[in-house]
Amino acid sequence: MKIFDWLEDHIKFIKLISVPLILLLITLIALMVHLTEGHWLHLMYIPVILGGIIYGSWGGLISGVIGSIAL
């Protein structure tokens, strides 16, 4: 299929651009959680799941640890 061929061709770029994106999401979500006194706490699942999808279980674990430190 064309989508999977495109993903295989661009996997290095996706992995390269996803690290700053995940870190930016963690930072923005932590800021929003602190400003709203914890009402949006469960949004931190997004960068953790994204890290897990792109980098596997170690990526999800590292994203989760960084996210928990940020909160």
The answer to whether residue 19 sits within a structural domain is no
Give the whole-angstrom CA distance, residue 51 versus residue 5: 21
> Do 31 and 44 form a contact (C-beta atoms < 8 A)?
no
Query: What is residue 8's predicted lDDT score, i.e. its pLDDT?
Result: 77
**Residue 4, pLDDT score:** 74
- Per-residue pLDDT band for 6 (boundaries 50, 70, 90) equals confident
Query: Could you tell me if residue 47 is inside a domain?
Result: yes
Of 29, 36, 37, 39, the residue nearest 64 (C-alpha): 29
Model pLDDT for residues 18-63, shown as the tens digit of each residue:
999 999 999 999 999 999 988 888 999 999 999 999 999 999 999 9
**CA proximity to 29, closest of 15, 17, 16, 46:** 46
pLDDT at 1: 64
Pick the more confident residue, 4 or 35.
35
Residue 42: which domain range?
Answer: 26-71
Residue 17 lies in a domain: no
